[in-house]
Structure 1
């Protein structure tokens, strides 16, 4: 059973039970809805309590700006690198000279496959085409793909 992690916590016991036993489905719902969020929240609460304890017991010398500058500088460098990386990727994506096309094959047309979505599911079935560099050149929905293949 493969669910996207963002959708798992929304699944009901009956939806999990379609892929496994009812007991396992109840354990999975309990884990994703109660135990895991409690662990995450508890970790943040413990981190905040530890930071508060450190600040209360720190000397004036430890709380000076000079003591925090190496950490602040490191965080600033990482943020700057992420911003530059993002702009670089966007500029590369907007490059008009980049060749984006379907790879040419001598085998003939691609094999025809059918993509079935189980009844009652919203289905996020997409077909991605890739260029020679392995980048996604374009994406079509499964019904469009099946119409093209027919």
Structure 2
């Protein structure tokens, strides 16, 4: 499927039918609009019932703040690291002055990149050449590699 999942739930059977058959389109709509939301909601309800049962059957020691602190600290550390990671990624994405490391062309001639990829699986088999730093210098298809080796 080539469309994002968030947009999928808004599509009708006729929109799905343009990309696949009518029966498959009905299955997609049933999954994204009914079955998946019921599974998610059911999971949350079961979690809430389980937590309520655990709290109802817990002793006074288990309900103290000291018993919950390791879990609260762990959740807080994970949440903080996710927030910092998100801010760092956003700042990195907006930094247009950053120099990205690209392989140097050096003295090796670069192959033309406007060649046609052969049909079938042969176009998916690639051979990568690396420079002294371990960076990929150029990539050729398997038929081109076999022609060069012969």
* TM-score bucket (shorter structure): 0.5 to 0.7
CA 1:4–1:88: 2 relative to 1, 3 Å: closer
SS of equivalent residue, structure 2 residue 10: coil
Identify the range of structure 1 (35-44 vs 81-90) with the bigger mean alpha-carbon deviation.
Answer: 81-90
CA 1:8–1:93: 2 relative to 1, 3 Å: closer
Shift of 1:85: 2.5
Shift of 1:28: 1.1
Q: Show structure 1 runs of 4+ deviating over 3 A.
A: 86-97, 102-107
Superposed, which structure 2 residues align to 1:1-150 within 5 Å?
A: 1-93=1-93, 97-99=97-99
CA 1:21–1:86: 2 relative to 1, 3 Å: closer
RMSD: 3.2
Shift of 1:56: 0.4
Normalised by the length of structure 1, the TM-score is 0.61
Shift of 1:91: 4.5
> Which structure's CA Rg is the greater one?
2
Q: Deviations over 1:56-102 (max 9, x none)?
A: 010111000111011011111112222332343344456575237x9
For structure 1, the 5+ residue unaligned runs are 112-150
Normalised by the length of structure 2, the TM-score is 0.61
Equivalent pairs counted in the alignment come to: 114
Shift of 1:27: 1.3
* Residues in 2 aligned to 1:28 and 1:95: alpha-carbon distance in whole angstroms: 40
* Residues in 2 aligned to 1:52 and 1:8: alpha-carbon distance in whole angstroms: 34
CA 1:24–1:87: 2 relative to 1, 3 Å: closer
